[in-house]
Structure 1
Amino acid sequence: MQTECRLYPASPMPPTELIERLKGLASSLVSDVFGRWAGAPGLLPVSGLAPGQVIAGPAFTVRTRPGDNLVVHKALDIARPGEILVIAAGGATDRAILGGLMGQYAQTKDLAGIIVDGAVRDRSDLDRVSPPVFAAGISHLGPYKSGPGELRCPISVAGLTVLDGDIIIGDEDGIAVLPRARGEELITAAEAKGEAEAAESAAILAGNWDRTWIDEGLKIVNVQASSSN
């Protein structure tokens, strides 16, 4: 018996140059220049991410029933090289949405990464044969394969709205999302913030880091020590 899988049109791929610039940044920089709310708390790297590695690419969005991965298999079949699978699985961590075999298949499709608002399993296998995986948890319990689901649709992962084609950055701090229409603007701003932070780091090493802004923002109230009888 077949179950419905709604498939929306694919979004245009972003320029390669834009993605390469993003790989030289960090999720924290993107979050800072985008109102400090562009991240999905709790979706952290669980496998395949080398120290200091940054992944970036356009989102291929997937919405599935919690604990079910039928439409995730279909997403792997049709995903384009360089895309990042972003799977809305309701945040449920009792059953794994994918494991080593699906991670290995994602690698053969040249996906840039996998993000699961849910659980995964086979962590060692994923670490060995899969693109970097971010998830909400780990569970050895396997998924159902019944559907239904939607592909390339608007989704919410860990409270963050993601549209198909939005640009994802992921590193050891987690993930951040840039709306595709604002990619150039936000990446340019993040690059400028990265340069400013590099200047601050140099100032720390030189012993002249400007700390005057702290006292400008605080009103210090000195509290007198109480006398003891």
Structure 2
Amino acid sequence: MPEPFHGFRGASSGPSRGTRLLPYKGVFARSIVTAQPGFRILPRVETDRALVALFDGLPASNISDNMNRMAGTAGLQPYHRPGVPLRGVALTVHVRAGDNLMIHHALQLVRAGDVLVVDGEGCIDRALIGEIMKNVAKMRGAAGAVIDGAIRDVASFREDDFPCYARAVCHRGPYKDGPGEINVPVSVGGMLVHPGDIMIGDDDGVLAIRPGEARAVAEATRKKAAAEAATLASIAKRQYDDSWIEKALKAKGL
């Protein structure tokens, strides 16, 4: 069963003035109703964490090739130490451009192996996270962060093994007013991410995989990786077969 929302720090256990409980998949999620609407926290979507290990050692490019070459983000860059892979499960956050209040709350909810996936609406005018929030995420066991927005304190990210992908770097800090949502579908770098999706990344980029598709995608990717390894071996032996090019051109009438 999804984990019920326990409220902001200091909130009482029952409904309080200014809140209402809304049904969601058989449980209740708390929707904050204020003079400034837009706060929503839905229950955690549970994912079998063993599915993440299916992608160990597989490059993002091969995985993307086996997802019709249409998956993954565009415009987000890795800012962590090169060669460190991202592997985890999405904890999604949608925030108002330039505001990180609900990212701070998401850090209170994070579990070991979660990847903080933030739809910051592509805003690069203000940083959404920096060194302090990164270290809080690490302390609480987060596996990484994917930010469709800006970060700051970039030197601390580049020296770190904590995987972080973002759109840009900006020294200006964020607002902390909200609104925002947690555990909702988000868009990051043009990629739709559902809460509980498997997040995979490397130096080439980052992508999300639906848990129900994970086994099929991983199996196809391992076959693709084996085929590419064979191709590289043939090149090393000066036995590369490029006859497919003539076949492709002939099919185009050339």
1:15 pairs with 49, 54, 64, which one?
A: 49
Post-superposition shift, 1:20?
2.3
Question: Offset at 1:218?
Answer: 1.3
Identity %: 37
Aligned to 2:27: none
Q: CA RMSD in A?
A: 2.0
TM-score (norm 1): 0.90
Q: Check whether the contact 1:33–1:186 (CA below 8 A) recurs between aligned residues.
A: yes
Residue aligned with 1:165, SS: coil
CA displacement, residues 78-113 of structure 1 (integer Å, 9 cap, x when unaligned): 011001110000001110001000001011011111
Question: What's 2:114 paired with?
Answer: 83
Supply the distance in 1 between the matched residues of 2:183 and 2:213 (Cα, whole angstroms): 19
For residues 55 and 63 of structure 1, what CA distance do their matches in structure 2 show? 21
Shift of 1:129: 5.4
Q: Which amino acid aligns with 1:67?
A: G
Aligned to 1:44: 77
| 1:130 CA displacement | 6.7
Select the residue among 39, 62, 73 that pairs with 1:29: 62
> Which structure 2 residues correspond to residues 1-229 of structure 1 after superposition, within 5 A?
5-16=39-50, 18-47=51-80, 49-51=81-83, 53-128=84-159, 131-219=162-250
Kindly provide the amino acid, as one letter, of the partner of residue 107 in structure 1.
K
Instruction: Look up the SS of the partner of 2:241 in the other structure.
Output: coil
- Name structure 1 gaps, 5 residues minimum: 223-229
Whole-Å separation in 2 of the counterparts to 1:174 and 1:192: 21
Maintained 8 Å contact 1:63/1:89: yes
Give deviations 1:171-195, integer Å, cap 9, x for gaps. Answer: 1011011112111111111111111
| C-alpha separation in 1, matches of 2:149 and 2:126 | 8
Structure 2, unaligned stretches of length 5 or more?
Answer: 1-17, 19-33
Amino acid at match of 2:244: W
Change (3 A) 1:150 1:221: closer
**TM-score, normalised with respect to structure 2:** 0.81
Change (3 A) 1:6 1:130: farther
- 2:139 is aligned with what amino acid? T
